[in-house]
Amino acid sequence: MTATDLSHNPMAPPLPALSPQAELALLCRTLFREGYDDHLAGHITYRQPDGTLLVNPWGLTWDEVRASDVLRIDTDGNLLEGRWTVTPAIPLHVELHRARPDVAVAVHNHPRWGTIWADLQRIPPVYDQTSAMVPGDPALHAEFDGSVDLVANARACVEALGDARTALLANHGVFVVGRDVAQAHHRAVVLEWRCRQAWHVEALGGGVPVGPEVFRRFAAPFDHVSFPGLWEAMCRRELRHDPSILD
C-alpha cells in the first residue's frame, strides 16, 4: 500500500459530513486539548475556494468555539459573515495567505511547550519517533518587535517562516501552516510534542537525538499524508465530549 492509499484506509468509523466551519471549530477544540490554550490568544484561518478566509472569533476560548461562531473575512481582514469580533492580530494571517498560496490553513497560538522554546530562541532537538513526524526543523523568527497586529511585524514573521511548515516566534509563540485542516492539525500536534519531549529530556541532563538521516527518511512520508486516522480520532473524541461543536 502506498502512502497516498493510507489516506483512504477505513481504519475506524468515519466522521459525519463536516462543513468548513465545523472543521475549523474542531481544529480549535482538538488543539486546545494539545496545549494551544493561552486563554483568549490564538487564531486560525482557513482559506476557502472563493478566496475568503474563515477565522475563529476573538473573545472565545478555543475550547468553546462552535461551527456557528466561525467568522468569514475577506483578504483584507474585513468581516463578511458572523456575529463576533475579528482578532486585531489578523494581519499575520492576511500577510501569510498573500505570500503563501499553497497554504490553506494557518495556526498561531502560544502553546505551553512551543512557547518555552520560542522564549529560548532555540530549535528543540528530535529525541523520539513522534517528534520526527514532520519533516525539517521549525523556522526561527529571532526578533520580537511587538504583537502581530502591526502589519510590519506580521510581515516579518511571514518572511521568517519562508516556505517552512512551522515556526517559532521569539518571545511570542508558534506559527503552523498546512494544505488542509488535517495536515495543519498533525503539524501543530507534532510541534508541541517535540517541544515538550525535548524540554523533559534536557531537564534530565540531555539525551541522544535521532540521527539526521533517520529523521529525514522517517519524516518524508508525512509531507504527503498526515498520520493516518489521527485527525478523525481526535475529532471523534471532541464530539463525544461535546456534540454541540457542530451547531
pLDDT tens profile 140-189: 987 766 565 667 777 888 887 788 899 999 999 999 999 999 999 999 99
Helix axes of 230-241 and 20-34: crossing angle, nearest 10 degrees: 90
Q: What is the pLDDT at residue 224?
A: 83
Q: What is the CATH number of domain 18-234?
A: 3.40.225.10
pLDDT tens profile 101-118: 999 999 999 999 999 999
The residues near 124 (Cβ < 8 Å, ≥ 6 apart) are 117, 131, 194, 195, 197, 198, 199
Q: Give the model's confidence band at 19: pLDDT under 50 very low, under 70 low, under 90 confident, else very high.
A: very high
Lowest mean pLDDT among 7-11, 83-87, 88-92, 224-228: 7-11
Q: Give the model's confidence band at 8: pLDDT under 50 very low, under 70 low, under 90 confident, else very high.
A: low
What gap in Å lies between CA 245 and CA 247, rounded to an integer?
6
Average pLDDT, the chain: 91
Q: Which three cell numbers stand for residue 193?
A: 510534542
| Mean per-residue pLDDT, 118-140 | 96
CB-CB contact of 192 with 37 (8 Å): no
Burial of 182 (0-12, 13-18, 19+ CB in 10 A): buried
Residue for cell digits 462552535? Answer: 66
Residue type, position 161, single letter: L
What gap in Å lies between CA 188 and CA 246, rounded to an integer?
22
Q: Which of 16, 17, 29 is nearest to 56 (CA)?
A: 29
Domain boundaries, given as residue ranges, for the chain: 18-234
Q: What is the pLDDT at residue 141?
A: 87
